[in-house]
């Protein structure tokens, strides 16, 4: 997934979580918590800086103001197919709302028995984890 697509999905998920975590005004009144009719969710521009590798901005995204952010870029130079993964966790300290992006994982599935002898299940093939030794349904 490209960085732009990931950021669009990430922002959409934050907005959806915010909408889902809001209660209607009727529920707020019955619980004795009268809130303002107009509440504004403000977003701030955040930069994900690659501290392990390049030291530059790896991605830019929007996060709700006042939410806690845990972020970083993890490098695995043994993974040729995908050497860097971003980690972003955004949580609301007042509620249980949170959004977490999970890293991309690369797997290799193969039906060639000669290759499977050289690379058994659990080994690495160009950075991808081999998950199956024999797949009869592919042959």
Domain that holds residue 71: 3-104
Give CA angle at 123 (126, 117), nearest 5°.
95
- Comparing CA positions, the residue from 41, 49, 44 lying closest to residue 20 is 41
Give the model confidence (pLDDT) of 34-78 as tens digits: 555 567 888 999 999 999 888 899 889 899 999 999 999 988 887
Claim to verify: residue 83 and residue 129 sit in the same structural domain: no
Claim to verify: residue 35 and residue 57 sit in the same structural domain: yes
- Comparing CA positions, the residue from 21, 67, 20, 24 lying closest to residue 42 is 67
Give me the sign of the Cα torsion angle 6, 9, 15, 19.
Answer: negative
Give the model confidence (pLDDT) of 109-126 as tens digits: 877 778 778 888 888 888
Claim to verify: residue 67 and residue 14 sit in the same structural domain: yes
Claim to verify: residue 58 and residue 78 sit in the same structural domain: yes
- How far apart CA 99 and CA 43 sit, in angstroms, is 14
25 pLDDT band, cuts 50/70/90, is very low
Claim to verify: residue 26 and residue 11 sit in the same structural domain: yes
The position carrying tokens 């890293």 is: 103
**How many folded domains does the chain comprise?**
2
């Amino acid at each position: 997934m490209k960085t732009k697509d990931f950021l669009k999905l990430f922002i959409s998920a934050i907005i959806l979580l915010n909408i889902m975590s809001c209660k209607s005004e009727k529920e707020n009144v019955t619980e004795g918590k009268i809130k303002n009719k107009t509440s504004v969710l403000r977003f701030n521009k955040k930069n994900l800086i690659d501290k392990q590798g390049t030291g530059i901005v790896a991605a830019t995204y929007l996060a709700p103001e006042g939410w806690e952010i845990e972020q970083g870029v993890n490098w695995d130079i043994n993974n040729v197919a995908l050497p860097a993964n971003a980690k972003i966790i955004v949580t609301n300290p007042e509620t249980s709302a949170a959004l977490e992006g999970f890293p991309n994982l690369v797997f290799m599935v193969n039906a060639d028995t000669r290759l499977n002898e050289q690379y058994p299940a659990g080994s690495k093939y160009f950075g991808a984890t081999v998950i199956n030794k024999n797949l009869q349904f592919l042959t």
